A and B are shown apart, each in its own frame.
Chain A
Amino acid sequence: MEVKLVAVAAVISNKQLKKIMKRLLIVLLVVFTAIINAQEKKDSIAVNRTAYKKKVLDNVEVNFLYSNYLQNGSHAAVTGGVGDEKLTDNTPAILINIPLNADAILSVDFGVDFTTSASTDQINPFAVAVTGGGEGDDRDKSGTTSSKSSALLKTSASTGGGDDGPPAHARKHGSLTYTHTSDNRTFSWGVDGAFSSEQGYNSVGAGIQFRKSFNNDNSEINFNSSAYFDKLDLIYPGEFRTSEGLSPSVGFKLLDLNHRNSFSAALSFSQMLNKRMQISFSADIIYQEGLLSTNYQRVYFKDKPIETVNNIELAHDVERLPSTRSKHPFGMRFNYAVSDVIILRTFYRYYSDDWGVSANTYDIQVPLKLSKSFTVYPMYRHHSQQQSTYFAPKSSHKSTETFYTSDYDLSTFSSSQYGVGFTIAPPLGIFKLDTSNAGNPFRFKSFDIRYNYYSRSDGLKANILSLNAQFSF
């Protein structure tokens, strides 16, 4: 009865939240439109920009992006908040900006993430234990298997391997964006479509964006909104699959949702303060609904005994989280050209959501322009967050709770990230590849490489190397 009342209350509050969000979006759009209209006349009188119309983009630009990410930790959510979090991710990507005419640009973006993760093969460790030989067989011989293991072994053997596939997997992602700029260059709009696809998870999305500059380009307002529609395959930990011959924990209920939708609206305002300083403010509203938990992340309760099979602890349940989440980040950037050599780039964000998470993020970069072509930029980032109401470490939740997770990404922690980047961008391009006598020279415009070390107070460490090589022709 109490659970039902909570559910009804949650539905009502979600409806109210949706109404409030709709109203807020309408207010934002009305304010945005009013500002645009008010400034349009002023700008058209102040500057006659249509006399000479410069192309928004002169040449085709191609960016080759690559990132290598290595992570290590001991709080894998798949194994209930304990276990190896080792993960590697390699992501090559290409972004092409094509000028369609003097006013319009088409951007094509495509990339693939190649990920290997130690926790992935823990989703169904029973299949690995049998087909992988070695470790699994030794465990069985040690006499620690329970009465459930014989059925388990038969099923796994007959499948010929783990049905989760190898631990490595790929995520393909891409987007297509069309942007159009007005004749006087003070207004632009754009639309985009995006997709991402990985094993058991597919997403499509679409978005719109508007930009308006005014006050002789000293001020600018941006508005963008997007929606993503994700479909999930419900993959449960091995002990919850009847095909493994195990009896799931008493009272286990299958998840009833297999979609996740995300809607966002972002409004930002930027302003030149003087010849050396500029500032921007941005506020987002993000609303998600559907299955917001990860269906193969385990939870162990403190009021139930843990049973083992082949030394593998059988979970009591999978992570369960509310079906809606509303996020409210507010960000601010301030950049200052201290001298001809030193630039200060700063960013601050305050974040809160209705899962009880609040966070502060600070970021500072100091690009040093050592010559016209070469810039080195040391950087530091600090993040601290308060945990979600639904988080607790392994064996700390009670089975009577409605929502629970042991995912340390939702825990209280602080993180520090520091690193350095180098940018080479000579005026005539790298290696002076500009050999053309026509209007479309091929240029290796710039090369940017950066490395960062990330350390979280719960012990998670990561290294990330990223680079971007930009060409134009």
Chain B
Amino acid sequence: MNKMRKIMIIMLFAGLITSSCSSVKAYERAKLNDKEMALSPKLSARYELQFHTYREAASGANGGKTGGGCGCN
């Protein structure tokens, strides 16, 4: 659980840093609103995430599915 504590501290620290950033007005977000700038995987990457979950021991923290289904092959 020490690792979880560290992660929570990092997240809190990151939150504090980022909350001090300059505010971006709605009319200044043309680039940020571009679909390529989305902070999530593309829909077309869905099955890549799935096979990574099956072929690697690590999963999660990327918006993918984290349970259900066998993936036994």
Q: Which residues of A contact B (CB under 8 A)?
A: 20, 24, 63, 65, 67, 69, 71, 87, 89, 91, 93, 95, 115, 117, 119-120, 171, 173, 194, 196, 198, 200-201, 203-205, 215-219, 226-228, 230, 232, 262-264, 266-267, 269-276, 278-286, 288, 294, 296-297, 327-331, 333, 335, 337, 343, 345, 347, 349, 351-353, 355, 357, 359, 361, 367, 369, 375, 377, 383, 385, 387-388, 409-410, 415, 417, 421, 423, 425, 448-450, 452, 454, 456, 460, 462, 464, 466-468
Q: List 18 A-B contacts (CB under 8 A).
A: A63-B43, A119-B73, A203-B70, A269-B11, A273-B21, A281-B14, A294-B70, A327-B60, A329-B60, A331-B62, A333-B40, A335-B37, A337-B32, A343-B34, A343-B37, A347-B62, A351-B57, A409-B57
Contact status B57-A275, CB under 8 Å: no
Using CB atoms, name the residue of chain B closest to A337: B31
Contact status A286-B67, CB under 8 Å: yes
Contact status B32-A269, CB under 8 Å: no
Chain A nearest CB from B49 CB (Å) reads 10
Closest 4 CB pairs of A and B: A262-B67, A331-B61, A228-B68, A329-B61
A272 to B37, CA, bound (A): 11
| Residue in B10, B38, B56, B67 with the greatest tally of chain A CB atoms within 10 Å | B67
Contact status B56-A278, CB under 8 Å: no
A470 to B68, CA, bound (A): 26
Chain B nearest CB from A371 CB (Å) reads 13
Take A69-B51, A448-B42 as given contacts and tell me if A286 and B60 are in contact as well, using a CB distance cutoff of 8 Å: yes
A421 to B36, CA, bound (A): 12
Take A65-B43, A218-B23, A278-B37 as given contacts and tell me if A284 and B61 are in contact as well, using a CB distance cutoff of 8 Å: yes
Considering only residues 51-73 of chain B, those with a C-beta below 8 Å from chain A are 51-52, 54-63, 66-70, 72-73
Using CB atoms, name the residue of chain B closest to A367: B36
Contact status A357-B24, CB under 8 Å: no
Contact status B60-A385, CB under 8 Å: no
Chain B nearest CB from A417 CB (Å) reads 8
Q: Please indicate the chain B residues that have their CB under 8 angstroms from the CB of A355 in the complex.
A: 57
Count of A-B contacts judged by CB separation below 8 Å:
232
Using CB atoms, name the residue of chain A closest to B14: A281
Q: Please indicate the chain B residues that have their CB under 8 angstroms from the CB of A337 in the complex.
A: 31-32, 34, 37
Considering only residues 1-28 of chain B, those with a C-beta below 8 Å from chain A are 1, 3-4, 7-8, 10-11, 14-15, 18-19, 21-26, 28
Contact status A284-B66, CB under 8 Å: yes
Contact status A173-B69, CB under 8 Å: yes
Using CB atoms, name the residue of chain A closest to B52: A383
Using CB atoms, name the residue of chain B closest to A366: B36
A153 to B58, CA, bound (A): 42
Given contacts A69-B47, A274-B21, A467-B44, 5 further A-B contacts (CB under 8 A): A89-B51, A216-B23, A296-B72, A333-B40, A335-B39
A347 to B66, CA, bound (A): 18
Contact status A359-B57, CB under 8 Å: yes
Contact status A275-B37, CB under 8 Å: no
**B8, B39, B45, B62: the one within 8 Å of A349 (CB):** B62
Chain A nearest CB from B57 CB (Å) reads 4
Contact status B62-A421, CB under 8 Å: no
Contact status B36-A377, CB under 8 Å: yes
Contact status A279-B18, CB under 8 Å: yes
Contact status A115-B73, CB under 8 Å: yes
A294 to B71, CA, bound (A): 10
Take A65-B46, A269-B11 as given contacts and tell me if A280 and B39 are in contact as well, using a CB distance cutoff of 8 Å: yes
Contact status A351-B61, CB under 8 Å: yes
Contact status A196-B62, CB under 8 Å: no
